[in-house]
Amino acid sequence: MQTQLLVTGSYGQLGRAVIAAAKSRGVAVEGRDLDTLDITDPEAVRAWIEPLNPRGVINCAAYTAVDDCEEHETEAMAVNATAVGHLAEACNLTGATLVQISTDYVFDGAGSHPYREDDPVAPTSAYGRTKLAGEAAARTARRHLIVRTAWLYGRGGRHFVGAIQRQIESGNREIRVVADQRGCPTFCDDLAAAVLDLLAADAAGVVHVVNSGETTWHGFALEIARRLRADVTIEPVTTSDFPRPAPRPAYSVLDISRMAAILGRTTPTWQDALGRYLEAK
């Protein structure tokens, strides 16, 4: 059977979810990660993609250490942008669609209404700048789909849900969580399903995909604790109480109406997604 999809970053939480979702649909898929593919090497990228002649290449690989990016922007740019250009070139040789996973960090976070795909971008962090450059590189693919998402969690990776769980399981009964950043918690399984559906629908351009609804990190933590039936106090704090090298968007809610129009459906609520994730663990 001809390989229909190729997935980079196959060991990451989203890459795993995409591969699992593709296999569940009977789609022939192959994944690569750092041990078998250096996406910053154009020859290696071309040697992998061209012979397989896939329908789509889904790039889940990224330099995602947001704070580290501030000191290592050159390295982050190589992975998050230059390498995307290599993938685009290889896709142009085969006619494959390049699906680039992007982020809410391309916005400055100063908004108060859900960001639409055509809203002005203005990243304030090195991570955001490199991911925005990745979007530009992805557009050099004749067939491309750029999926912006946010606040990801899933199996096989480090994320906020796991961090709160670990604190609860370690016996911590007072957990301080930022309450002045608002966004959309997103389960990788739901994102993976939407990405595959968008690819099947021949969607192009930029599409926002997150779970429905919005909350703060504090509200997210409260729901995690409630579902785990944990007897803990979740104390709200401000961003300034947790200074970090990279600025975080205060508001990064993404509007998913374009996705809904293309697919004829919305995504499950973030509360529903969280429940399914916790029940499956």
Report yes or no on 237 lying in a domain.
no
| Mean pLDDT, the chain, whole residue set | 97
Structure-block tokens of residue 55: 């329908």
Whether 1 has a pLDDT exceeding 70, the answer reads no
Q: Is residue 172 part of a domain?
A: no
Q: 226-263, pLDDT tens digit by residue?
A: 999 999 999 999 999 989 999 999 999 999 999 999 99
Q: Give CA–CA dist 113/115, Å, rounded.
A: 6
**Is residue 208 within 8 Å of 149, Cβ to Cβ?**
yes
pLDDT in tens, 30-57: 999 999 999 999 999 999 999 999 999 9
On whether residue 164 sits in a domain, the answer given is no
Query: How confident is the model over 130-149, as pLDDT tens digits?
Result: 999 999 999 999 999 999 99
Decide if 246 contacts 70 (C-beta within 8 A). Answer: yes
Q: Residue 147 belongs to a domain with what CATH number?
A: 3.40.50.720
In a domain, residue 140? The reply is yes
Percent of the chain whose pLDDT exceeds 70: 99
Number of domains in the chain: 1
Which residues in 173-193 are b (16+ Cβ under 10 Å) and which e? eebbbbbbbbbbbbbbbbbbb
Range of the domain at 27: 5-154+184-212+252-267
Residue 143 lies in a domain: yes
Q: Which tens digits make up the pLDDT trace of 143-193?
A: 999 999 999 999 988 999 999 999 999 999 999 999 999 999 999 999 999
In a domain, 206, yes or no: yes
Q: Which residues are catalytic?
A: 127
In the numeric block, the tokens 């942008």 are attached to: 81
Assign 28 to helix, strand or coil.
coil
